[in-house]
Amino acid sequence: MGYRIGIDVGGTFTDLVYLSDNDPVRIVKTPTTPENQAAGVLNGLEKIAGRENKSINGLLRDTDLLIHGTTVATNTMLEFNGASTGLIATKGFRDDIELRRGYKERLFDPAYPQPVPIARRRHRLTVDERIDREGNITRTLNEKDVRSVVRQLKEAGIESIGVCLFFSFLNPVHEKQILRIIKDEYPEAYVSLSSEVLPQIREFERVSTTLVNAYTCPKLNRYLNTLESNLREKGFENEFFVMLSNGGIMSADYAGKYSVYSLLSGPAGGVVSASQLKNGQKPSPNLITVDMGGTSYDVSLIHQGRPNITTDCWFSRYRVSIPMLEIHTIGAGGGSIAWVDDGGAMHVGPESAGADPGPACYGRGGTQPTVTDANLVLGFIDPDYFLGGEMRLNKDAAAKAIKNTLAEPMGIELVEAANGIFRIINSSMANGIREVSVKKGYDPRDFTLVAYGGNGAVHAGMQAGELGISRLIVPRIATAFSAWGMIGSDIVINKMRTYLANERNYDLNIINRLFNDMRLEAEKDMSGEKLKRSGLIRDIRFNYFVDMHYNGETYEITVPLRASNSRVTSDSILESVNRFHIEHKTLHTFSNPEALVFIMNLKIEMVVSIKKPGIADLSPDGDDASHALRTRRMVYCNEAMSFRETPVYDGTRIKCGNILNGPCIIEEPATTIVVYKGQTATLNANDCYDISVS
């Protein structure tokens, strides 16, 4: 078997994981190149080739599988630098995107401004047509109207057009007719049809999701085409996949067309990787994952072995209703900038120093204090062993940034200011964990915390203690855990259809016809002919789901739906109804088994299972870790409010079964793990640090 390579582009570093045959997984980190992410990716591949004593052409010729997690679509929405976007809607529905169903983000601030417009009103045009709630055409599409609005959008320099017609999710004939006219009048335009992006009920959610896709699609499509072209020129001949926000992978062509599915692409890899962790020989069923990189802190929850999936996501104040792993993101990374407000209070983030210039200690011109600068001043990080010694940090520059920006203006000592950054960021991250657990009806004390990302293991022990979590897992490859998850991800294709009925009045023939249509669509979308020939595919399965709600509710709960021999039965519906009552009580603290349950949407998930790389299975080698002791250094202790001499261990020399009692520090080549007082760390058989928290 050739190489498998996973690539995760972060805000500060681009992480690459690679392995071949039965070799152990290896990690490469290279600075992210924000102006052109492809350059950072190619730099990382060059680095891998050098380690393997190959040219990059030779490496790529020998690569079977290359999977990429990209932040292009995410950054486009965060920075609002997407394509000039227009909308074609049914007459009378031009302003749905601004009306937002009356949703108020800040109830007590009526002057709160509208979000940045991704399709200005003058570029939102309408056509005369109408389809009724049964999917019947009651007013034929006026083609003259369509040609007129397409020409207007072309003359206005619109690059990408979203098409969202009323009731098109039941009958897309008019949207497809508009697509043909656009291709005739303006073939250069990118087009996003709501009947393809999100074919389900609720007009605002559908138009918002379609416009986000239209806004981000051109930029992501160009990036992926450029990167894939570079890879092909350098000898790569196999499938190039992109990580999607649903926890699966798909071809670059698919990701480029449905760019909205790649929001939170990178963090999704870490959640998938965590879901495959084992407790002994069994999967760990209940996990909270935290990924702390350079710019953000991403939190997700895995309950009973399955990551939570949501369709209720707001991204940069726009509703995105596609199935996504439920990942809560806050601006709390190693590069998060600390600042003082007009009232003299200290804050940390959400603004980040990013990759360029980065934290002050990077020596690239940054002058603002960051979390990494504080960790360096407090002794958690060794300035001479950052990235395994590949990069030296400037402790004096970190101290100067904290002193000038925080300590002197606030009238406090340098160490007190640095510890203030540390405590504030820990509190923010603990609140982030509460968002996915306590606010969803879960008790974090019933979960194991999994920490990864370059900075996650420095802070996770503090959060676990604050939240009452008794067990913390830190993978040895924590810094590239998301990239590792991509290598072990399956191809996942989601399809949905709206079907309105209730538990007593439904038509099984219609339900099964809709599911059959979705199966055929998913099979058509499935690419990977080269992947099929490679022998990497293990099996293909379909999972069925249904959205349900009580009468009068404006939200749904997605529950599994059993299908025997690809057919849904009345018994299957009854099982899903019972499951809905249970889930409703978990999420909302009550259920009403006597009430009528309504069906809203039918969903199908096609999973093409890829053969997974082997999970480490190490043999115990005694509990004495003294052979791995590298040095001792002064590290700040919050309990004592002073520096204490602390043992520092070389992670590369720690063996399975070795026990390390806190306080101590473990330095892996690309991450630092802080074991706090009262905690005990052991390297387990799966090559993860298993830390008990008192």
**Pairing verdict, β 63-69 and 239-243:** parallel
Close Cβ partners of 516 (under 8 Å, ≥ 6 residues apart): 566
Task: Work out the pLDDT band at 434, boundaries 50, 70, 90.
Answer: very high
pLDDT band at 539 (very low <50, low <70, confident <90, very high): confident
Distance CA 406, CA 501 (A): 60
Could you give the CA distance from residue 526 to residue 510 in angstroms, rounded to a whole number?
25
For residue 71, what pLDDT band results from cuts at 50, 70 and 90?
confident
pLDDT of residue 123: 97
Tens digits of residue pLDDT in 33-56? 887 888 999 999 999 999 999 999
Percent of the chain scoring above 70 in pLDDT: 97
Q: Mean pLDDT in the chain?
A: 90
pLDDT the model gives residue 610: 84
Condensed to tens digits (0 to 9), the pLDDT of residues 147-206 reads: 999 999 999 999 999 999 999 999 999 999 999 999 999 999 999 999 999 999 989 999
Architecture in CATH for domain 491-610: 2-Layer Sandwich (3.30)
Find which of 216-230, 324-338, 614-628 is predicted with most confidence, using mean pLDDT: 216-230
Question: 643 falls in which pLDDT band (50, 70, 90)?
Answer: very high
> Which pLDDT tens digit goes with each residue over 237-289?
888 899 999 999 998 889 999 999 998 888 888 898 888 886 655 556 899 99
**pLDDT band of 530, cuts 50, 70, 90:** low
Is the CATH number of domain 80-218 3.40.50? Answer: yes
C-alpha 645/C-alpha 663 separation (Å) is: 9
How much is the pTM? 0.86
The domain defined by 266-488 folds into Nucleotidyltransferase; domain 5 (3.30.420)
Domain boundaries, the chain: 80-218, 266-488, 491-610
> What pLDDT sits at residue 374?
95
Write the burial class of residue 152 (CB in 10 Å: 0-12 exposed, 13-18 middle, 19+ buried). middle
SS3 316: coil
> Is it the case that residue 625 has pLDDT exceeding 60?
yes
